[in-house]
Amino acid sequence: MNLTELVKLSNDYGSNEDYVLAGGGNTSLKDDSEMYIKGSGTTLATITADGFVGMDRAKLNAMMTADYPQGDKEREAASLADMMAARLPGFEDKRPSVETTLHNLFPFRLILHVHPALVNGLTCGQDGEKIAAELLPGEHVWIPLSRPGYVLSLLCREKLSEYKAAQGKEAQILLLQNHGIFIAADTREEIDALMEHVMERLRSRLGRTPDFSAASCDAGKAESLKRELAALYSPNGKADLLCNQEILSLVASRHAFSPLSAAFTPDHIVYCKAEFLYTESPELMDVKFKEFTDKTGYAPKVVCVKGFGAFILGDTDKDVSTSKMLFLDAVKIAVYSESFGGPLHMTPELIDFIANWEMEAYRQKVNKE
Ligand SMILES: [Zn+2]
């Protein structure tokens, strides 16, 4: 299969931060028998034909009616084994995207799956489902909060067939609560037109946009907090400070911080951990840091301090810069969600599931390399 069109679609959307951050999002191209999908751990902005994994569609189709075990771990392991067995010969050393079975559901050639902050302002909004029905009447399928992987594919399969029965056509826009969007079409032109249509409808409803204008804090104190936090994070830890008007307002009090009190989407957990540390007492940083680590079982990636902003921590500069992007994404979603009924986080149960999910751990590990 010629992948030129797929590579171009991936690079174009992947290099636009309004659509894709870090290793997020994925794309695919298919015919009746084969599908080429982004490999796990690759990045859309820079992906080449080598980054895609060839899949046998008949085997992926069979997975949707397979009889898997009931338990989470057992079912995920069994479906993962089948997904690996569905790779075409010559692709045995590559791992397909975690969303492969979902891509395979759409009877369209090209699929674009992204997690844009604006779209997630809607999917992470209390009234997201209701407002989506007003903005895109009869044009989309809404997928309620779900576990990722195979279970999500089953749910989408059911909702896509309900849509087809009701509308007499195949769905091309799929909105996933606390996650992102799928666009399906046979041509690149149609993908672009559908994506822009959704963005335009969302912008038409937007009240406030984030205020990322410059803000200042005590630079000397900020430097010493950076050094302290880097050392607390790990022996070779790195730290950076994000400070702008929006972030300063969010860290002004524990109440103001509540939009960031839990994760919006799986990406935030993967790159910034499930929870951020918030404190109004930077002079007690070592104590607060230890309390957080004891409670959660991990060191914070993001430490928000009243009057300063958000300190982003990591093992390498790349690690810090990726987490910075995803933290800013969470801030944007928090603000955009105001236009869609106010912030709606993932449930603690789902956050726990993602934090422990083997495939996400793999994605994060590859992206760090
Ligand atoms: Zn996704």
Q: Is the pLDDT of residue 369 over 70?
A: no
Instruction: Specify whether the CB–CB gap between 288 and 311 falls below 8 A.
Output: no
Instruction: Specify whether the CB–CB gap between 263 and 346 falls below 8 A.
Output: yes
Burial class for 216, CB neighbours closer than 10 Å (0-12, 13-18, 19+): exposed
Residue 368 confidence (pLDDT): 44
Tell how far the Cα of 182 is from the centroid of ligand 1, in angstroms: 9
- Using DSSP's 3-state secondary structure scheme, residue 148 falls into coil
User: What letter does residue 235 receive in the DSSP assignment?
Assistant: T
Tell how far the Cα of 317 is from the centroid of ligand 1, in angstroms: 25
CA distance 280 to 303: 11
Tell how far the Cα of 230 is from the centroid of ligand 1, in angstroms: 30
CA distance 63 to 46: 31
pLDDT digits (tens, 9 = 90+) for 21-80: 988 899 999 999 999 999 988 999 999 999 999 999 999 999 999 999 988 888 888 999
Of residues 341 and 358, which shows the higher confidence score? Answer: 341
Instruction: Specify whether the CB–CB gap between 329 and 335 falls below 8 A.
Output: no
Q: Is the pLDDT of residue 196 over 60?
A: yes
Question: Does the global pTM surpass 0.85?
Answer: yes
Tokens 């195979």 correspond to 150
Tell how far the Cα of 169 is from the centroid of ligand 1, in angstroms: 24
Residue 72 confidence (pLDDT): 81
Q: Would you list the DSSP string of 111-174? A: EEEE--HHHHHHHTBTTHHHHHHHHSTTT-EEE-S--STHHHHHHHHHHHHHHHHHHSS---EE
Residue 365 confidence (pLDDT): 55
Tell how far the Cα of 115 is from the centroid of ligand 1, in angstroms: 6
CA distance 268 to 330: 7
Mean pLDDT for 320-334 is 97
Tell how far the Cα of 175 is from the centroid of ligand 1, in angstroms: 11
Averaged pLDDT score across all residues of the chain: 94
Tell how far the Cα of 180 is from the centroid of ligand 1, in angstroms: 6
